A and B are shown apart, each in its own frame.
Chain A
Amino acid sequence: MKTVIKTSNLEKVYNGSVAPVRAVNNVNLEFQEGEFTAIVGPSGSGKTTFLNLIGGLDKPTGGQVIIDGTDIASLKESQLFDFRLKHIGFVFQSYNLIPVLTAKENVSFIMLLQKQSKDAMEKRAKEMLEQVGLSDKLNSRPNQLSGGQQQRVAVARALASKPKFVLADEPTANLDTESAFNLLDIMSRLNKEENITLIFSTHDQRVIERASRVITLVDGEVSKDEMFDR
């Protein structure tokens, strides 16, 4: 199996008001292609910070994040924008679709930034919305969709540009049980069918039960790293 992400001695220290806060401390992990990983841990354990570091949204104060042989901590800001655009898909807790664009336009948006052809974008956007069961909502704006539907559009957006991996920060936190299961079914299917690497930060037991790997963070350090055959 191919290693997609490798972190070595990864560290992030914030300047707290009283003392420095070590949000991520000496994390050494490898993520393989096609893995469905859940990062779990109590609030403040460093889950989101860890995702931001491997997603290139935040710079580490120490260590490395190697993606495809590149240490992304060494990239300049504009290179990092390009890197994220090309290689990483994001799904956020609050869906975070562009409110003024339709579902199809939201899904096409990253491909547009990647300067893909109009036809290719159109085809891929339709295909992805079909995959997440929203082929009848192509022209709906986010405010015309339910929370679950919006999060499915967000998943379609994250996957449309065929990223190396998808980072999802508590994607089911705002969803009811049915929507959450629906979303997880879709993501599990895409994970298997398209061999997409998924990394979730979550508190949600429903997500944890689907994951093939569960990493527990406590105080910014890896306390458990378990594999499951699912």
Chain B
Amino acid sequence: MKTLLKISWRNIWRNRTRSLVIILAIVLGLMGGIFSVGMRLGIETQQFRETVETQISHIQLHHPEFIANPEARFRIENGLQLAAEMMEKPWVEVASPRTVFDGMIASANMNAGVRIKGIDPELEILTTSLNELLEEGTYFEEEGRLPTIIIGQRLARDIKAEVGSRIVLTFQDIHGEIVSASFRVEGFYSVASPGFEERTVFLKADILNNLIGDSNAVNEIALLIHDLDQYREKTALLREMHPDIEIRNWADLAPSLYFSIEFLHQNMAWIVGIIILGVSFGLLNTILMSVLERVNELGVLMAIGMKRLKVFSMVVTETTLLSIVGGSLGLLLSWIMVVLLNINGIDMSGAGGEGLAEFGYSSLVFLEVPASLYLDIGVMVVIFAILASVYPAWKAVRFAPAEAVRQE
């Protein structure tokens, strides 16, 4: 076995240039594959964070009728207590009760339809990190005569509001009566999704609840769970526990994002697989050439008593060693590439990144390559290489020794 390995290893380096070319092909193939998958995963992860973690959270609870009619009156019964109970569950990271409904915002110049969210500022920091999204102003620190509100930067631009401007919200209370109230703009936030930023405003829930006439009103409970992989099970569990509440997870709330992530995860292996398949044909060609050049030599080995299976194994071992060298080098260089590119991220603004932002993508992309992908690719390279070596190895042992010895 040791000698077989030794002979195979030395055979690889008999034609140094040819072996280096195929190793380079494996390395470039892997780097290309890992870059393209890492890029796609990076964009998806970023979009997931921007959509799910800053906007919709992992799981949302609502009154069933609220979905079709987002009005103040469709509240979750004993919402505050339910949110507190949720917080007690070990798998829940945070449960944020919100007062939510649609209304109108008016500045001195213009007005617009908005979704009004009454939040607990402290819990919201834990849920959506709203405080970190502020572009201007402060996060519910002002204690002035007027209660304060935080609005999206795009909305501020649309209605020509500034930090410190006075705006008026108009909405229905729990009895369906129209209520108007004045607020001072305390800050602008910014998220990647323009739609969310143009349409969502935040203020303190206690102030909003007083205005709608129910100091304990909760229209929405947003949950973050510790283990996101369990979101399906936890959604099902909550549905079972609370059949009278509409429970939706992030996949229900952002189906297109869900499908694109699922598609990517399912097809990631295909993308890399096709690249490795291409490289494998190169490998097959290289080994086949090296075998056909050595028909005479392999014939001699068989003539002096080396069995066909051993000669076959020798060719397979050569290919495997070549793929291990190329594969390890490719994975190492890919890893270095990912680390280096992720120091500053890849700025896509020059390559249609602005357009990306319109769809909720940030123009700065960080490659995302899970450790398991490196492992999968490593295993896949070796398996494909072994498969690619079967034909040349079969060719190698196909000749009768007497015939092979005669070949020059």
Contacts and interface: CB of A to CB of B under 8 A. Distances in A.
Contacts of B3: 105, 109, 112
Nearest to B11: A100
Interface stretch (B70-78, B246-254, B399-407): B399-407
A112 B301 CA distance: 12
B302 interface: yes
Contacts of A58: 400, 402
A117 interface: no
Contacts of B300: 90, 92, 96, 98
Contacts of B11: 100
A125 to B, nearest CB: 13
B305 interface: yes
B296 A100 contact: no
Contact of A99 (B297, B308, B310): B297
B304 A94 contact: no
Contact of A57 (B301, B310, B405): B405
A58 B306 CA distance: 16
Nearest to B404: A57
Interface stretch (A36-44, A76-84, A213-221): A76-84
Contact of A113 (B306, B401, B405, B408): B306
A134 interface: no
Interface residues of A, number: 26
Contacts, number: 58
A85 interface: yes
B49 interface: no
Contacts of A98: 7, 297, 300-301
A151 B297 CA distance: 15
Contacts of B400: 57-58
Contacts of A109: 3, 304
Interface in A134-155: none
Interface residues of B, number: 23
A66 interface: no
B10 A90 contact: no
Contacts of A55: 303
Contacts of B14: 99-100
B402 A85 contact: no
Given A58-B400, A101-B7, A96 B405 contact: yes
How would you classify the secondary structure of chain B's contact residues: helix, strand, loop or mixed?
helix
Interface string B298-332: 00111111111010000000000000000000000
Contacts of B306: 81, 113
Contacts of B307: 78, 81
Interface in B270-316: 296-297, 300-308, 310
A141 to B, nearest CB: 9
A191 interface: no
Contacts of B304: 84-85, 90, 109-110, 113, 157
Most buried by B among A94, A100, A114: A100
A84 B303 contact: yes
B305 A85 contact: yes
Contacts of B308: 81
B287 to A, nearest CB: 15
Contact of B305 (A52, A81, A92): A81
A82 B305 contact: yes
B239 to A, nearest CB: 66
A76 to B, nearest CB: 12
Given A52-B402, A90-B304, 14 more contacts: A55-B303, A58-B400, A82-B305, A90-B300, A96-B296, A96-B300, A98-B297, A100-B10, A100-B11, A101-B10, A105-B3, A110-B305, A113-B310, A114-B305
Would you list the 3 A-B pairs with minimal beta carbon distance, nearest first? A85-B305, A100-B10, A57-B402
17 contacts: A57-B303, A57-B405, A81-B302, A81-B305, A81-B308, A84-B304, A84-B305, A90-B303, A90-B304, A96-B296, A96-B405, A100-B10, A101-B10, A109-B3, A110-B305, A113-B304, A113-B310
Interface of B: 3, 7, 10-11, 14, 296-297, 300-308, 310, 400-402, 405-406, 408
Interface of A: 48, 52, 55, 57-58, 78, 81-82, 84-86, 90, 92, 94, 96, 98-101, 105, 109-110, 112-114, 157
